[in-house]
């Protein structure tokens, strides 16, 4: 089964679908030298219109800046420059008539139709020191996903995979176990910690901050295989 991974960046989503058994082609407007799948540099809308019929299923992760809670807080005035890409990509996907998935951040909930929420804690994603990945992402699907594992937020340390890994105003040292900590015991995270928590070993820090953990799309991809192709 051939899956088109639109807005693919360095291929976090694509990797999960590959694990679910799909053959992946990624499309991004920017070069993606670290993307491990077949890759074509192109505009997602143009490529989908011209080549969508060559694929069995489509995934789209349109840029989420306009919906990102972080962006809203920090750079409110920049929001105006970003457009909402979800409705136009959905229109193209429905016209194509193949099984599809549109993924986005929680802030985009009102733009997505009956999305399924996935979190790193559903898949046991954490750093090697046990800091949990509480990364909520929404998936609108053209097929029935059904029950998901439950969110399992425990008391304790949490890793955020955003722009930076450590607080710029804090000083960190390596504890005996190798963990980065302030003198008050607040954990700091390097790129390797973020890779461990995301289940991704090939991305830079910047690419990780945009990615979805492959465990999420492996879950969605397996459901799609069962519901749409068996």
Chain residues binding ligand SAM by CB under 6 A are 7-13, 27-30, 43-44, 61, 63-64, 210-212
**Do the beta carbons of residue 140 and residue 190 sit within 8 Å?**
no
Q: What's the rounded Cα separation, in Å, for the pair 61 and 78? A: 20
Q: What's the rounded Cα separation, in Å, for the pair 211 and 159? A: 14
CB 73, min distance to ligand SAM, A: 18
CB 209, min distance to ligand SAM, A: 9
Residue number of the CB closest to ligand SAM reads 12
Cβ closest to ligand SAM, residue 105 vs residue 180: 105
CB 47, min distance to ligand SAM, A: 8
In sequence order, the 6+-apart residues with CB closer than 8 A to the CB of 115 are 104, 109, 138, 139, 140, 141
**Do the beta carbons of residue 138 and residue 184 sit within 8 Å?**
no
* Two tokens, residue 115: 């999305």
Nearest 5 degrees, angle CA 181-CA 132-CA 213?
A: 120
CB 8, min distance to ligand SAM, A: 6
CB 129, min distance to ligand SAM, A: 24
**Do the beta carbons of residue 5 and residue 11 sit within 8 Å?**
yes
CB 212, min distance to ligand SAM, A: 4
CB 29, min distance to ligand SAM, A: 4
Q: Concatenated DSSP letters for 163-215? A: S-SS-TT---EE-TTS-EE-TT--B---HHHHHHHHT-SS--HHHHHH---HH
Q: Count CB neighbours of 100 within 10 A.
A: 24
């Amino acid at each position: 089964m051939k899956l088109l991974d639109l807005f693919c960046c360095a291929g976090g989503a694509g990797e999960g679908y590959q694990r679910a058994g799909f053959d992946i082609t990624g499309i991004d407007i920017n070069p993606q030298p670290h993307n491990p799948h077949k890759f074509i540099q192109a505009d997602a809308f143009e490529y989908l219109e011209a080549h969508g019929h060559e694929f069995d299923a489509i995934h789209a992760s349109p840029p989420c800046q306009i919906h990102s809670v972080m962006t809203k807080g920090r750079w409110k005035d920049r929001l105006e420059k970003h457009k909402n890409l979800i409705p136009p990509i959905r229109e193209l996907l429905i016209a194509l008539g193949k099984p599809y998935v549109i993924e986005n951040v929680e802030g985009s909930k009102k733009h997505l139709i009956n999305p399924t929420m996935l979190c790193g804690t559903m898949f046991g994603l954490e750093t090697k020191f046990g800091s949990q990945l509480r990364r909520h992402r929404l998936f609108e699907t053209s097929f029935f996903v059904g029950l998901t594992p439950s969110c399992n937020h425990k008391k304790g340390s949490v890793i955020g995979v955003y722009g930076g890994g450590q607080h710029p105003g804090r000083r960190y040292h390596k504890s005996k176990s190798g963990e980065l900590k302030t003198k008050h015991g607040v954990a700091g995270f390097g790129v390797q910690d973020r890779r461990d928590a995301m289940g991704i070993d090939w991305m830079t820090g910047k690419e990780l901050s945009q990615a979805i953990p492959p465990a999420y799309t492996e879950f969605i991809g397996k459901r799609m295989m069962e519901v749409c192709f068996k």
